[in-house]
Chains A and B, each alone.
Chain A
Amino acid sequence: NAGVTQTPKFQVLKTGQSMTLQCAQDMNHNSMYWYRQDPGMGLRLIYYSASEGTTDKGEVPNGYNVSRLNKREFSLRLESAAPSQTSVYFCASSGEAWGPQHFGDGTRLSIL
């Protein structure tokens, strides 16, 4: 009964390093999303994929890229990590675009 699985759960990077956060869902959902959550800022949408084969920018896309590898998997890549990208990252999925979302447990990312 996995739902949405994110890997890794924790990661520490140095400034300038690259990193890919992985997300997979087993609910046959069409839509997938990446968020970051920072203290005092709430959840902010980075990128989303309304359906397999499409991706679009959210509120804070700068410094990130995404790949919708197949219907199950949606990865988030930081090409050159910056301290401002220290955050908790959540992946989510929904059956229909912008419907109720199921979230993964998050990845806590620290960039030194």
Chain B
Amino acid sequence: EDKVVQSPLSLVVHEGDTVTLNCSYEVTNFRSLLWYKQEKKAPTFLFMLTSSGIEKKSGRLSSILDKKELFSILNITATQTGDSAVYLCAVVGGGSNYKLTFGKGTLLTVNP
């Protein structure tokens, strides 16, 4: 059975802190890993990673994938209260039939 495990489940930090969110996975025929941010309503796409060791970066957010050790991290530097959200990791795998599995998410709270 495919698994995607995110840690920690929740995290409280102060504005300006740097945080690292983790996503480990066990899937058949890995194809890609995606990160989403979910505030009150719809998840919004952050990054898609397919190749190991290549960092994706957008402003204060960055992410990297390690296909050998089967995990990804999402880093947020200089956190702001607007970064407070649930961060979701999803992995696409499968053979001839694709399969998508989401982790349960990490709830990040950034206090002023």
Residues of A within 8 A of B (CB): 4, 33, 40-45, 48, 50, 56, 58-59, 90, 97-106
Contacts and interface: CB of A to CB of B under 8 A. Distances in A.
B4 to A, nearest CB: 8
A4 B104 CA distance: 23
12 contacts: A40-B104, A43-B43, A43-B88, A44-B102, A56-B97, A59-B101, A98-B98, A98-B100, A99-B48, A100-B48, A101-B34, A106-B41
B51 to A, nearest CB: 15
A45 B98 CA distance: 12
Contacts, number: 44
Interface of B: 31-32, 34, 41-45, 48, 88, 90, 92, 97-98, 100-105
Given A40-B104, A43-B102, A100 B88 contact: no
Contacts of A33: 100
Contacts of A43: 43, 88, 90, 102
Interface of chain B, helix or strand or loop or mixed? strand
Of all A-B residue pairs in the complex, the 4 with the closest CB atoms, nearest first, are A103-B42, A42-B104, A43-B102, A100-B45
Chain A at the B interface: SS class: loop
Given A40-B104, A42-B103, A43-B88, A97 B42 contact: no
A42 B42 contact: no
A98 B31 contact: yes
A17 B96 CA distance: 36
